[in-house]
Structure 1
Amino acid sequence: MIYTITLNPSLDYVMMVNELKNGETNRSQAEKIYPGGKGFNVSRILNEFGIANKAIGLAAGFSGLEIDRLLNEKGIDHELIFMAEGFSRINIKLKGSEETEINGAGPKADAMVIKRLKQILDTMNEDDTAALCGSLCQGIDSSTFASILSLLKSKGVRLIVDMSNEALLNSLAYEPWLIKPNLSELCELWKRPIHSLNELRDAMMFCSQRKAQNVLVSLGKDGAVLLDEQQRLYYCSAPAGEVKNSVGAGDSMLAGFLTAYMQSQSYEKALRMGVACGSATAFNDDLAKLKQIMSYYEGLNVRSLNADESRLAEIVE
């Protein structure tokens, strides 16, 4: 079973605004509400492929109840652990010529919530995959997060980490099967800018040397690069298209990568499907549908990085 774990989910309130004027009353042209959270997005794409999965998340208050309702509406198998106080954060996404986001802080997890979370994790075994996605909620400090990672490692779970900053750095010691930073997050992890192909390779090796088994780096409109557990580098460019939506593109990439790898045990096919999923979501108003994904997948090619160094060098410079 695949478990997606979202420790700080949100209710995403998306507003279409032609032009945002600071200091004035602005009116939207349309609004939509989604269950927000990187793990939930991964689960939605896994569902498109018919891959069995369960979404685990923390929630609170009226907004947590709405997240629960929306997950049920979308047919996502899930378990939310509710906190006694506060409410799940509400993130405002303003979409127009540019995208502006205002993300809430979220509630604070208490000892009982963390205990229940660990009880769920303790039921997992070596046949399971756990994807830790997004930010940490208040109440889960570095020590508590380390205990969560340690528990998952002790159960033999295949661990995926799609987080950033300190949480991602601290996870490396627990030998995650896959990490998925974007280029900016990789720079933060490496603590220096990336301007060349050699620097990109060195930054990915930095993660590998600290026990990340596979490193998948999303490059936005330019596709993605993979350093696999055999130290092989692969690159897949993204298809051309009009970007309508940046929310969930990276999560879609992760879901596609995981789906294709489970079905083929091929990192090349996994990278290809990951880029197809991420692109399909970026070119859509919402997360991608299977038909859209497969239409992009057919036109993509994965190449050894050595065969495409000049192209990739242009991307990271």
Structure 2
Amino acid sequence: MYYTVTFNPSLDYIIFVDSFEYGSLNRARDEYIVPGGKGINVSIVLKNLGKETKAFAFTAGYTGNTLKEMVKQYGVELISIPVNNGSTRINVKLKSGEETEINGKGPALTKEDLNKLKAMLYTSLTKEDFLILSGNAPSSLGNNVYKELIEIANKAGAKCVVDAEGELLTQTLSLNPFLIKPNKAELSMIFNKKINSKEDVIYYAKKLQEMGAENVLVSLGEEGAILVTLDGNTYFHSAPKGIVKNSVGAGDSMVAGFLCSLDDTHDCYYSLLNGIAAGSATAFSGFLATKEKQREILANMEKMKDEKRNSRS
């Protein structure tokens, strides 16, 4: 089972307007609402790709109830941790040429709320499972909150995946997470260095391994991704070309695509391709990657001549 955790999920209200004028009445050409939150995104793509998954999420108010019902429509069981104050946030994505985002705040979380999640993890996780921790956590819970959850997972023997920024990520490294997925900007932030070249990415990804991560997957946006593995191999593949329609959830989709393939094939390089294909499938679609779109993109990627396998280093 793949378990995901989302501390601050959302309903994403996406509005398309032909032109936008500040301070005036603007009419939508199209609109829709989708569930949001990095862990929930991962779970939806995992389900789309044929894996069983459950999503832990803190929910509040009527928007929280709506979120649960919407996630269920994608075949994912949302395990709700109810919060007694506020409401699950609504994020507004205004698309008019460029995208403008207004993200809601969401409910405040307490240590008691966190303890409810911990109790659920204690009774749920086994050595057959993955625990995927994605996105930010409330500052009220401190920078050690993911580390605390990984301690529970390690006791159960579950594999942990972390997709987070700054200290929220680095605090987990001493517990040897199975996979971490920074992007290039986050890598620069962690080491306070300007990172431009692939060689720089590989160098600092290996630094994260020295700090404890087993495998490091670095997303490079439209350039592709680099994977540094526990067995000493480094892999790179460029991203396919296409018209970007949606940037939200592309990184989450990469995580889901990579893990699905690795579970099935145990081939790190092929799993990297699957991860990039899933991320691109989301970027080129209106919402999250489907299995059909991922397979279509993967087939095209396998025909590309610029793929690169680096030998053990």
Q: TM-score, normalised by structure 1?
A: 0.92
Q: Deviations over 1:61-87 (max 9, x none)?
A: 121111111112222122011101111
The answer on whether the counterparts of 1:109 and 1:138 sit within 8 Å (CA) in structure 2 is no
Q: Counterparts of 1:1-317 in structure 2 under 5 Å?
A: 1-123=1-123, 124-137=125-138, 139-301=140-302, 302-305=307-310
Letter in 1 for 2:225: A
Q: Deviations over 1:95-117 (max 9, x none)?
A: 23111212122211223321210
Query: Secondary structure of 1:24's partner?
Result: coil
Q: Deviations over 1:219-275 (max 9, x none)?
A: 111211111112211111111111111011111111100000000111011101001
Query: Secondary structure of 1:300's partner?
Result: helix
Query: Secondary structure of 2:55's partner?
Result: strand
Q: Deviations over 1:115-166 (max 9, x none)?
A: 2101111121221100001110353222444322322222221000011122
Bigger Cα displacement from structure 2, 75-84 vs 258-267: 75-84
Bigger Cα displacement from structure 2, 17-26 vs 213-222: 17-26
Q: Deviations over 1:187-243 (max 9, x none)?
A: 112211112233222211121111111111111112111111122111111111111
Separation in 2, partners of 1:180, 1:266: 18
Counterpart of 1:312 in structure 2 is none
Going from structure 1 to structure 2, the CA distance change for 1:144 and 1:134 (only over 3 Å counts) comes to: closer
Separation in 1, partners of 2:82, 2:204: 38
Separation in 2, partners of 1:171, 1:136: 13
Bigger Cα displacement from structure 2, 196-205 vs 226-235: 196-205
Query: Secondary structure of 1:125's partner?
Result: coil
The answer on whether the counterparts of 2:269 and 2:309 sit within 8 Å (CA) in structure 1 is no
Going from structure 1 to structure 2, the CA distance change for 1:161 and 1:274 (only over 3 Å counts) comes to: same
Bigger Cα displacement from structure 2, 152-161 vs 20-29: 20-29
Letter in 2 for 1:25: L
Counterpart of 1:310 in structure 2 is none
Bigger Cα displacement from structure 2, 206-215 vs 130-139: 130-139
The answer on whether the counterparts of 1:253 and 1:275 sit within 8 Å (CA) in structure 2 is yes
Question: What is the aligned length?
Answer: 307
Deviation at 1:305, TM superposition (A): 4.3
Separation in 1, partners of 2:285, 2:145: 37
Percent identity, aligned pairs only, is 37
Separation in 1, partners of 2:115, 2:96: 42
Letter in 2 for 1:18: D
Separation in 2, partners of 1:37, 1:144: 17
Unaligned runs of 5+ in 1: 307-317
Bigger Cα displacement from structure 2, 236-245 vs 258-267: 236-245
Separation in 2, partners of 1:263, 1:77: 22
Deviation at 1:26, TM superposition (A): 2.6
Bigger Cα displacement from structure 2, 15-24 vs 108-117: 15-24
Unaligned runs of 5+ in 2: none
Separation in 1, partners of 2:49, 2:196: 36
Separation in 1, partners of 2:251, 2:195: 20
The answer on whether the counterparts of 2:49 and 2:290 sit within 8 Å (CA) in structure 1 is no
Letter in 1 for 2:37: G
